[in-house]
Chain A
Amino acid sequence: MLRPRWFAIGQALPPRLRLTLTLLSFLLPVAAWGLVSYVPWIWHPFVRVESAGDVTWFKPGLLVERSVFAEENLKILAAGGHAADGSRANPVFLPAPHEVGRAFWTAFHAKPQLRGDLWLHESLWVSIRTIFWGFAISSLIGVPLGILCGAYAPISRLAEPMIDFVRYMPSPAFGALAVAVLGIFDAPKIAVIVIGTFFQQVLIIANTVRRHDPALVEAAQTLGARPWQLLRRVIVPSCIVDLYNDQRILLGWAWTYLIVAEVVGVSSGITFFINQQAKYRNFDNVYAAIIIIGVIGLATDQVLAFIGQRIFAWKNPRPSRIRSFFARLFARRPVVMLVEQTTPPTNPA
């Protein structure tokens, strides 16, 4: 049996090992977090007071720095009083994994503490809606413009220098302006995401389109394709997979603008939830909310990757329900999707 060599360049890992490493990539940080949280002699710079003894300003539950705690006890013992008792603890901003886990549970099951506060899932839904509209509006203009820039040099020269200039302006800087123009509710937040995404989007899409294979364009020309057909039938399809992956990356960027976007005007969505919980010093809730953003982001990306793999048939030529669904949706007549391929077509010529 061939033993897999771990550090061979460009060698694919066996599936089992791949899965193990993927799991470890999540489990190792969690394990480190658990170690710091549960093993009392690692870090734990505070002492949580359990019984105050004779120290006047100690109260049960109070977090005191270890050195201070020891000093006070020494003083009290010297004065002949009862020493305070306590156990080592981490600062309040580092809750243990199980506390964050519990926060997940309660966030979805317990009523918000204040009337008028939103549930976690309601906050999330507001955020997802903001992202969706921001990204959709940006893509609606950015993708076609990027494609035109990539295909036609004059359009690229006309549009790109200015876009290149604007993209260095941080989109939150437009926040105040957006509020003045669009009001204080959802519109300015969407605007900040659009501004943050759009300019990068045009440049990235243009760059991808510019990398198309000119030989395919020439082939299409000798087959009688006119300029507009070249764009629609050759250039765009030839980079569609890369464009799709660009959009996946850009969607991730849109998420990074979310938190700053949501403090524009009336704070809303997941950001409002996080800020509110931080104010109450419920850091377990804060972590739960941050982690859930990560989970949503990763899940969306994985779903998009999966869909991409399935709809771009030529990259992955095997029958797929998603693909046949889309094909039937857009075709005007019934289509047979199965590529029946019993023997690999390797016989030459």
Chain B
Amino acid sequence: MSAPADFILPDYRVQTPAVAERFRRLKERPVVLKVEDLGREFASNGGTVTALRKINLDIHRRELVCVIGPSGCGKSTLIRIIAGLDAPTSGRMLVDGKESSGPSPERGMVFQGYTLFPWLTVTRNVMFGLEMSGMDKTQAESEALQWIDLVGLGRFKDSYPAQLSGGMKQRVAIARALAPNPRVLLMDEPFGALDAQTRAQMQAHLLEIWRNIEVTILFITHDLDEAIFLADRIVVLKANPGEVQEIIEVPVPRPRHPDQVNSPEFLATRRRLDELIHPRTVHAPAEKLPIFRMTQAGDDVE
């Protein structure tokens, strides 16, 4: 997992020429999603709590950005505001340079809890967004079937969500969010409920989809390795109040492969994230629990 402290690792900011060139080109692309001075305050008993303060983000076309942070840093609030499901108390958000608020199919969302419509088949679920945009049923169905094939669930097009496994449900949810052709795909810890093996498969699937589809992805996670594996850039938030602590350009070259987990760039980035998310003071000797011994003398497990 985390690299030993005495292991000599390169600086996480060092990029190979290929990676640096890629970032240079990436930043030349137009900004699809711009978040400006975004703030969100909640009224709580006897005062206000600042969940987010002065968040600034530029996300370029077809970039994959991950947001991580300790629990309570407001990352879910951030993505809900960008999706239009919550309103900011200050600042604004621009999609393709136009100010935008409220939910819209230009910002598709994949939720951790799948949120598939249980009364609709896989096909009808994927058709939902298309039908909402006024497309007629026959065309919506043929487009939906293409998306279902893209996520590899052609065999299950007539199944109901309850008949699918967690990973399959989340693939349907991705197809459903992509079908109306969103400019930005927002993903709120989408693989958080999956087991480790399925999650790794889903990460690979997502990169595969992202490579082939014209879409920009903003991905929220609390899994540091997942963030490094997927992202071009990682936005690290800190809690109380939620602010951008650092935006890291991931030096791991693309195309990504699971074997890169042990590469120096990956480990360097991982160590930097560990420092940011779990500062040493927190890691320092954990508080001892007030437990007295209740086993027989000599019956030791450690």
Given A216-B115, A312-B119, A223–B195 Cβ distance below 8 Å? Answer: no
Shortest A319–chain B CB gap in Å is 11
- Let me know if B160 and A314 touch, CB within 8 A: yes
Most chain A CB atoms below 10 A, which of B113, B118, B176: B118
Within 8 A of B (CB), among A215-230: 215-216, 218-226, 229
Q: Scoring A residues 255 to 287 as 1 if CB is less than 8 Å from chain B, else 0, what string do you get? A: 000000000000000000000000000000000
Given A224-B132, A229-B132, A317-B163, A345–B119 Cβ distance below 8 Å? Answer: no
Given A224-B104, A314-B118, A348–B198 Cβ distance below 8 Å? Answer: yes
Name B168's contact: one of A240, A313, A349 (CB within 8 Å): A349
How many angstroms from the CA of A156 to the CA of B121 in the assembled complex?
32
- Let me know if B195 and A348 touch, CB within 8 A: yes
Name B119's contact: one of A221, A229, A238, A341 (CB within 8 Å): A238
- Let me know if A348 and B167 touch, CB within 8 A: yes
A221 partner residues in chain B, CB cutoff 8 A: 84-85, 103
Shortest B191–chain A CB gap in Å is 10
B163 partner residues in chain A, CB cutoff 8 A: 317, 341, 345
- Let me know if A219 and B205 touch, CB within 8 A: no
How many angstroms from the CA of A135 to the CA of B235 in the assembled complex?
59
Count how many chain A residues have C-beta atoms less than 8 Å from C-beta atoms of the other chain: 30
Shortest A317–chain B CB gap in Å is 5
CB of A113 within 8 Å of the partner chain: no
A339 partner residues in chain B, CB cutoff 8 A: 121, 158-160
- Let me know if B105 and A224 touch, CB within 8 A: yes
- Let me know if A215 and B156 touch, CB within 8 A: no
| Chain B residue nearest in CB terms to A224 | B105
Given A312-B119, A313-B160, A222–B167 Cβ distance below 8 Å? Answer: no
- Let me know if A215 and B128 touch, CB within 8 A: no
Most chain A CB atoms below 10 A, which of B113, B132, B160: B132
B180 partner residues in chain A, CB cutoff 8 A: 223-224
CB of B177 within 8 Å of the partner chain: yes
Given A224-B132, A340-B158, A349–B205 Cβ distance below 8 Å? Answer: yes
How many angstroms from the CA of A233 to the CA of B133 in the assembled complex?
13
B103 partner residues in chain A, CB cutoff 8 A: 218, 221-222, 224
A→B interface (CB under 8 Å): 213, 215-216, 218-226, 229, 233-234, 237-238, 240, 312-314, 317, 339-341, 345-349
B→A interface (CB under 8 Å): 83-85, 103-105, 107-109, 111, 113, 115-121, 128-129, 132-133, 155-156, 158-168, 171, 176-177, 180, 186, 194-195, 197-198, 201-202, 205
Other A-B pairs beyond A213-B115, A215-B111, 11, CB < 8 Å = A218-B115, A220-B132, A222-B103, A223-B128, A237-B119, A238-B119, A314-B161, A314-B162, A317-B162, A339-B158, A349-B165
